[in-house]
Structure 1
Amino acid sequence: MKKICFMVLSFMTLNLISCKDFLEETPTDFVSIGNFYKTESDIISALAGIYDVLGKTSAYGRYFFLEMDMSDEQNYNNNGTVPTAPDLQYFNYQISDIKLEAVWSNLYTGINRANMLIENVDNADIMEDKKEAYKAEAMFLRAYYYFLLTNHFGNVPLRLQSTKSPNEVDFPPSPYSVIYHQIVQDMEYAADKVPDITAYNHGGRVTKSAVWGILARVNLKMAGAPLRDHSRYAEARKWAKKVIDLGYHELHPDYTQVFKNYAQKQYYTKESIWEVEFAYWSGTQNEEGQVGSANGVRNTDRNMGYSYGLQRPMEVYYKRFEQGDLRRDWTISDYTYSGNQQVPLSGTNITIYYNRYGAKFRREYENNPNKSVNTTIINFPLLRYSDVLLMFAEADNQMNRAPSSEAINAVNIVRRRAFGKFLPGAVNIEEFDIPNNLDALTFQTFIQDERSRELGFEALRRFDLIRWGIYYSTMKDLLNYKSSAHVNYRVIPFIPAENLQLRDTLYAIPSDEMMINKLMVQNPGW
């Protein structure tokens, strides 16, 4: 069960009835539905297929944390080579971009698999409570995939039944309000039916804590752009508080160990509530991702762990950290590699900002006897308890138009860990606590920066900036740093900000979908 997301699936011949495939030919290689979904083993295999979507290259295997999270935290530095081809991360792509199509197709794959399980789980010869739990898990994952789709693409087709015919290709896009209503409905259905987090010794499965925490995230998005339904702040606060009030969750005393755990296959579910699990090369199926190989500290030593070092920080991100914040030099490396030796960065030259790498996921800690050049088994976080604390604080402040003592305390818990106040021998525990007299606007601004410091490079910054309605302005503000940057760093880091247009809070609907689905509507600006 621990590796449910990456089992070699017996049901894979049921696989993905995509609309694109339907246009090419009538599927003939499917296991009959009547012969499947009969046993608990069938259901577990089908459920594994729904989870499998999370680890694909077009999801958290790479795209979501690299190309599709361009923000004021990072730039995509292809080892110093000025890009000549259009691509997502530079905001100069075409609607036929293969990465765009892969993301769209992969998420609808997960949705279709979820629909199939939801429709057929009652046929299985298992206890009713187990049926309910499996169905709830599938409904939550379907909702989560719609959450990702609408965040990236806006109004999308809402398909709540599995595809059964090659003619089912024309679906109109549903409005945000309808999609989010369905997301919330499905997640709330799952909230009381999935197991408690203590039922597992790992973070790869959906649990009550995961559902509650993601519901807080969903409701914060609904309260922000584009819906701006401020009544949702109360809902976000409610769901975040359920996680807090459970009394189980806490921060790991050592910030760095949280990320070492992802590389070492160690689970601390008190903080890491939900994560994408990657597995070893099995000989028949590669279930590794690119966490740490694409976005780690550049290194060509294969024994330590090869990394392309494609993710570099922006100067403004470095400066966002206060002196003494232990998160900075872990999140963005204070060293480079020469062979298998670390070379510390030193000096005050401005190049120190751009010579660093996104470094949360370090291959030197990877517990893999056969380290690949291109892929790793390092897990990726989807929800951490520190995120829940910060969501609670933000929702509480926005709901009450002033931060309560509870909200301030939630932020201070995160900050105390950041400055090492939970480590043995720590003194002056309240040294870096925030003032208790901040007004609502100042507190919100502080939360926005604190989320960046705590959750940087975890595929959340672009999402946050967009829901706050400041993505375009924040990205354009990066250009203020261009003239003062070292001459070697005045081109590549600023390409996304220069190319960014107002339309880029959403990605274009992929050309394949536009050609196949005659009722689909392209996003504005394309």
Structure 2
Amino acid sequence: MKKNIYHFIIAILVIGGMTSSCDHLDVTPESNWGVDEFYSNETEAEIALSGIYSLLATDNVYGQALSIIMESGTDEGYYNRRYNENWTVGLYRHTAADNYVKNLWTNLYSSINMANMFNEKLKKSAFEEEEYNRLLAEARFLRGLCYFHLVNWYGDVPLRLNFTKDQSDNHLAPSPMKQVYEQVVEDLQFASEHLYHANNPKYESGRANKMAAHGLLARVYLKMSGNPLKEDHYQDVIEECEIIINDGWHGLHQSAGDNLGYRKHFLSYIENNYDLRESLFEISFSYLRELGIMVDGRIGALNGVAFSYGGGQDGYPASYAMFNTTPNHRNAYDENDQRKDWNIANYQYTKKGDIVEVTSAMAPQFCPGKFRRWEPMNWEDLTNTPASGTTEPYMVLEKVSTLSKSFTSINFPVIRYADVLLMYAEAANEINNGPTAKAIEYLNAVRERAGLGAIETEKPGAIANHTNFFNEIVDERLRELCFEGLRKQDLIRWELLGTKLAETNASIKGDPDYISTNESHRAYLRSGNFFDENKHLSLPYPSQEVAINNELNQKAGW
């Protein structure tokens, strides 16, 4: 059955215009049925929806682009290879011909085209009205998510709401950002009305649901309230967050007596145990692999704890440590914050099989730990030296039959309940020109899960006025939501990206281990050095798209 589903999905991808992603597959797309004969029962509809999810799990979307590469180049972390500039977008060295610029655009529009085809071809007469609307709602949720990424990263973009069959449909001028955001809101509102709640027995983990739609609506409204649109939608943010909070089913993962709720929640992504109470929506690499679909999740392989042993072979929890955390990120945590040691790893596994402590932010192994594939079996090994001819034991956290050297099955969070609480707190502060009691309560809920005391007791100045509380939210979102693909867009909407990059470079140069003549250390400064406020708050249009769309003119400066 899995093989049949796999072949059906590939055929749908081909029909939807995504043939380039399927060149390596030994699949014949021709079949005895066409688009107009498909979408006539629940099985076919589910297959088509799985095809959209599979595109979101490719390298060019959540597999590595949105989750890792696009997110690099902030006060959260940066690309650390001194001898190349492969992660061009994070280094602000990209051009309009850059593959990352092109592939994100192409894959998002391919997903949108599949959603549009689904909306057009789903046979209403074949379903009860409730089921018909639920299926449409899932496709519109995914389309809204894709357009949200497009408008965030590229600004004004062509708003394609009909199935594009061939190149003759390609010529379409970009719509203003406001219009695109309004379409995203419309799609997500429809989704929030018709999707299953995650507590519905019919709901399948890893798929869109009612509260995920409300959570994304809150995020969209928060973005619309900031740069560059700067409309006031803070009350809309409050209302969407209140729907989730007052519903009462979702909440923070708590761990009685040990303050390890944060760690245990992220282990659920690593181990593929869906923690639906806190995770409103996640990209499910494990579910798609179970269907037999090859997906490209590199979560924990590119941005995980360094593991060099094994000679680059499958069977080991390899992590290539390409992404460094910054000194100012490390310094953002209070001493007792349980998130620090989880988010920022302080160890590595060497080629010789030795677990070594990493204490310097200038070390190339000073890496994120949030999506770690492994941990030491014995933590004292960080300071021990193994006997000659032996290796120190480690524990694999990923739950798969065979470990891949390149890909992981670690799921990636799109929206969590903790984010809902912080979005509410931020919006309430803006509306009230200072923190409300609820804003403080919800911030404290996030802090207390991390083992910290009430902010009014430990940091009373942070709640003294609007500015202080806003600055606390800026820092708290870094501590709580780091490496979840949110930081760069947060800094852009706050108009703080350039400021935080300058602060990051200052923290690097001010680190006691920084050596100005060390080429590797100087390479850490590239993102801050190359960033241009006039160019890098959005991506250029891909040069290939400008060439084939007569209505799409390149942005000034590109």
TM-score, normalised via structure 2 length: 0.85
Does 2:133 align with 1:132?
yes
- 1:307 paired residue among 305, 319, 322: 319
- 1:273 paired residue among 261, 280, 283: 280
Instruction: Show the counterpart of 1:317.
Output: 329
Deviates more, 1:370-379 or 1:48-57: 48-57
What is the CA–CA distance in structure 1 between the aligned matches of 2:461 and 2:537, rounded to whole Å?
34
One-letter code of the match for 2:309? D
What is the CA–CA distance in structure 1 between the aligned matches of 2:124 and 2:191, rounded to whole Å?
20
Q: Deviations over 1:359-405 (max 9, x none)?
A: 11111210012000000101000011101100010011111212111
- 1:475 paired residue among 478, 501, 504: 501
Tell me how many residue pairs correspond in the alignment.
505
One-letter code of the match for 2:304? G
Does 2:407 align with 1:397?
no
Q: Deviations over 1:152-203 (max 9, x none)?
A: 1110000000013431111000001111111111111111110111126764
Q: List runs of 5+ in structure 2 lacking aligned partners.
A: 21-28, 255-260, 375-396
Structure 2 residue matching 1:265: 3-state secondary structure: coil
- Equivalent residues in 2 for 1:40-189, closer than 5 Å: 40-70=42-72, 71-78=74-81, 81-83=82-84, 87-123=88-124, 125-189=126-190
What is the CA–CA distance in structure 2 between the aligned matches of 1:121 and 1:516, rounded to whole Å?
30
Structure 2 residue matching 1:138: 3-state secondary structure: helix
- 1:379 paired residue among 411, 415, 436: 411
One-letter code of the match for 1:132? N
What is the CA–CA distance in structure 1 between the aligned matches of 2:429 and 2:243, rounded to whole Å?
17
Q: Deviations over 1:48-95 (max 9, x none)?
A: 1122222110111001122201211101113xx422568222211221
- 2:345 paired residue among 333, 352, 362: 333
1:105 Cα shift? 0.6
Whether the 8 Å CA contact 1:38–1:125 is kept in 2: the answer is: yes
Does 2:300 align with 1:297?
no
Deviates more, 1:188-197 or 1:114-123: 114-123
TM-score, normalised via structure 1 length: 0.90
Instruction: Show the counterpart of 1:523.
Output: 555
Instruction: Show the counterpart of 2:26.
Output: none
Deviates more, 1:148-157 or 1:44-53: 44-53
- 2:295 paired residue among 263, 287, 294: 287
One-letter code of the match for 2:416? R
Instruction: Show the counterpart of 2:240.
Output: 239
1:121 Cα shift? 1.6
Deviates more, 1:367-376 or 1:293-302: 293-302
One-letter code of the match for 1:265? N
Structure 2 residue matching 1:184: 3-state secondary structure: helix
Structure 2 residue matching 1:293: 3-state secondary structure: coil
Cα distance change of structure 1 residues 446 and 233 upon mapping to structure 2, 3 Å threshold = same
Does 2:525 align with 1:499?
no
1:524 Cα shift? 3.1
Structure 2 residue matching 1:506: 3-state secondary structure: coil
Structure 1 residue matching 2:474: 3-state secondary structure: helix
What is the CA–CA distance in structure 2 between the aligned matches of 1:516 and 1:118, rounded to whole Å?
26
Instruction: Show the counterpart of 2:383.
Output: none
What is the CA–CA distance in structure 2 between the aligned matches of 1:450 and 1:216, rounded to whole Å?
18
Q: List runs of 5+ in structure 1 lacking aligned partners.
A: 22-27, 422-427
CA-atom RMSD in angstroms: 2.6
Cα distance change of structure 1 residues 203 and 494 upon mapping to structure 2, 3 Å threshold = farther
Whether the 8 Å CA contact 2:462–2:468 is kept in 1: the answer is: no
1:342 Cα shift? 3.0
One-letter code of the match for 1:264? E
Q: Deviations over 1:406-444 (max 9, x none)?
A: 1100000000011278xxxxxx99965766842111111
- 2:211 paired residue among 176, 196, 209: 209
Q: Deviations over 1:223-257 (max 9, x none)?
A: 00111002x00001110111111111111121111
One-letter code of the match for 2:45? I
What is the CA–CA distance in structure 1 between the aligned matches of 2:400 and 2:418, rounded to whole Å?
28
Whether the 8 Å CA contact 1:11–1:42 is kept in 2: the answer is: no
Instruction: Show the counterpart of 1:25.
Output: none
One-letter code of the match for 1:510? P
